[in-house]
Structure 1
Amino acid sequence: MPHIDLGVDDQTFPGMAGLAQYRPDTAGPMLQLAQILLRGPSTLPPGERELIASYVSTLNGCGFMILTHGAFAAAQLDGGMPLVTQVNSDPETAPVSDKLRALLRIAAATRESGRQVSEEAVKAARAAGATDLEIHDTVLIAAATSMFNRYVDGLATSYPDDPAPYAEQAKQVIANGYNTDASF
């Protein structure tokens, strides 16, 4: 049960959707940021960007966003949910590129503290083929995901544990992007 009355049925509007209904004026810009970072133009494929968000959510223990971003990543990556699960449990042994592995290390450091991102980690990402823009976006994805994690968990939003609705939502996000008008 959410810590505050969001004024919506939490089964119809779980997680971020309920918060967006409660405060659409803040949800709109937040969802625009998600759209830019996770679906906008980039040399990193959307599935990899969603995987970074899922991994950061796993490190933060945010169930809602593990399920959402995990489903969104799985729907866009050849390895599907088994790959997402493997990355979330041990990215060092997951079958991903050296570049993505290096970016996941940067994402993990960022969610801990921006000051944890070392010059060595950045050099390693560059050596693995990451561009400065990809490093920038990884840091911002990790920081923004951590903010979203704290937002949905800080207000104890409700959400279903069943992965099926997230797989359906993934189809909508892939086809239409994040709903940036917060009207849901």
Structure 2
Amino acid sequence: MAHIDLGVDETLFPGITGPLRFRAETAKPLNELAEVLLRGPNSLPAGERELIAAYVSGLNDCTFCCDSHSAFAAAQLHDGMTLVEQVRADLDAAPVSDKLRALLRIAGAVSESGRNVTEDMVETAREHGATDVEIHDTVLIAAAFCMYNRYVDGLGTLAPADTGMYTEAAQRIIEHGYLRRG
């Protein structure tokens, strides 16, 4: 049970969805940010951007965000959940491009502190083909998910153990995005 009364049934609105319904005026910019970062036009595929969100959420030990964005990434990546789990278990051994691995290392550094991102990390990402926009967006995705993770866990919201719920949510996100309809 959440630390405050969110005015919703947490089993129907778990994780971030309850707090977003609690404060519609703050939900709007948070959802808009997620939409731009994770689904907007970008040279990084949406599945890879969701993987960055899942990776950072896992490092931050945020069960709801990690499980949900792992499902969102898996639904959009060729190797699905197998790849997501490989990245989360051992980034060095995971079968991802050198560019994505370099970007995930930057995201991991941001999850600890923005100051942990080094020139060498950025240069390595560039050497593997990352653009300045991709580096920028990786840092912002990681920073935003540090905020989202702390928002979810700071309010003590429910993180369902049923992975089917996350798979269903993935299909809604792919079809409709993060912006509320109607």
Output the TM-score relative to the length of structure 2: 0.98
Match of 1:53? 53
Q: CA deviation at 1:111?
A: 1.0
Q: CA deviation at 1:180?
A: 4.3
Counterpart of 1:72 in structure 2: which amino acid?
F
Q: CA deviation at 1:179?
A: 2.5
Match of 1:136? 136
Alignment of 1:1-80 (within 5 A): 1-80=1-80
Alignment of 1:153-164 (within 5 A): 153-164=153-164
Distance 1:102 1:154 in 2: 30
**Contact preservation (8 Å) 1:54, 1:65:** yes
Distance 1:96 1:159 in 2: 28
1:30-56: per-residue Cα shift (whole Å, max 9, x none)?
Answer: 010000000000000000000000000
Identity rate, percent? 60
Distance 2:31 2:90 in 1: 29
Alignment of 1:85-100 (within 5 A): 85-100=85-100
**Contact preservation (8 Å) 1:20, 1:26:** yes
Q: Give the gaps of 5 or more residues in structure 2.
A: none
**Corresponding residue SS for 1:76:** coil
Runs of 4+ in 1 over 6 A off after TM superposition: none
Match of 1:147? 147
Distance 1:108 1:15 in 2: 22
Match of 2:110? 110
**Contact preservation (8 Å) 1:6, 1:18:** yes
Q: CA deviation at 1:159?
A: 2.6
Distance 1:63 1:145 in 2: 12
Counterpart of 1:100 in structure 2: which amino acid?
L
The total of aligned residue pairs comes to 182
Output the TM-score relative to the length of structure 1: 0.97
Counterpart of 1:173 in structure 2: which amino acid?
I
Distance 1:2 1:176 in 2: 27
**Corresponding residue SS for 1:32:** helix
1:57-114: per-residue Cα shift (whole Å, max 9, x none)?
Answer: 0000000001110000000001110110110111111000000000000000111111
RMSD value, Cα:
1.0
Counterpart of 1:7 in structure 2: which amino acid?
G
**Larger relative contact order (C-alpha < 8 A, sep ≥ 6)?**
1
